[in-house]
Amino acid sequence: MSDNNTEEKILDAAINVFQSKGMDGARMQEIADKAKINKSMLHYYYRSKQKLFEAVFKTAISIMAPKLREIIEKDEPLFDKIRNFTNGYISLISKHAYIPTFIIQELNRNPEILQDTFIKEFGNSFSTMKTTINEMVENGEITPIKPEHLIINVIAMSIFPFVAKPILKSVLQKDEKEYKLLLEERKTHVADFIINSIRLK
């Protein structure tokens, strides 16, 4: 995975184990084995399981958050923004399939973790977007909708198929290949579906 830098090898292995098994299911020994180093090294570089977990969690956030903010803050028409979000985010998550479930799982286990981080990360990004949407509604450019619901809908339709993959695969009776194709289609479908709902015809 990486070179012979021990600290990096540890973090790589920890990302692997923590993101697939969660804080409670992860074992320090397994991380050490995957990194091919002595278990003591984990504590030498990261002091405790909790600290190592926090490092992993932060990398997960740092992968997901910038793109989210970039898309939200970029000054472009709402419909373009929606298209960029669904396309960009579904692409990003496809490369990091474990992250959404990992973040959701750990945030449900301990909701306080990132309360502050998230608010200061997205606080006013959301406010400006909220007023934009409200203005468009008032100007009669889109159908009346609460900004909150529109945002939830966009995020839900983009991310949920990754989080609920095992269930949806069963319900829809798709194999791995077919399901991947479905996700690929959603990069454009989700935006089309949303815009079709809110635009005036």
Partner DNA sequence: ACTTTTGTCAACCAAACGGTTAAACAATAC
Partner DNA sequence: GTATTGTTTAACCGTTTGGTTGACAAAAGT
For binding to a copy of itself (CB under 8 A), which residues are involved?
21-25, 101, 103-105, 107-109, 111, 114-115, 118-119, 122-123, 126, 143, 145-146, 148-149, 151-153, 155-157, 159-161, 163-168, 170-174, 182, 185-186, 189-190, 193-194, 196-198, 201
Backbone torsions φ then ψ of 199, nearest 5 degrees? -75, 155
Q: Which stretch binds DNA (CB under 7 A): 32-40, 56-64, 69-77, 152-160?
A: 32-40
Residue whose CB is less far from a copy of itself, 41 or 155: 155
Q: Which stretch binds DNA (CB under 7 A): 38-46, 77-85, 90-98, 164-172?
A: 38-46
Report the alpha-carbon distance of residue 193 to residue 159 in Å, rounded.
15
Among a copy of itself, DNA, none, what does residue 1 contact (CB within 5–8 Å per kind)?
none
Q: What is the DSSP letter of 141?
A: S
Q: Which residues lie below 8 Å from residue 72, measured CB to CB, with a gap of 6+?
A: 81, 85, 122, 125, 126, 129
Query: Hey, is 142 helix, strand or coil?
Result: strand
Number of residues that bind DNA (CB under 7 A): 16
Task: Specify whether the CB–CB gap between 52 and 14 falls below 8 A.
Answer: yes
Least distance to DNA from the beta carbon of 61, Å?
Answer: 21
* Residue 18: closest CA among 43, 62, 52, 46: 52
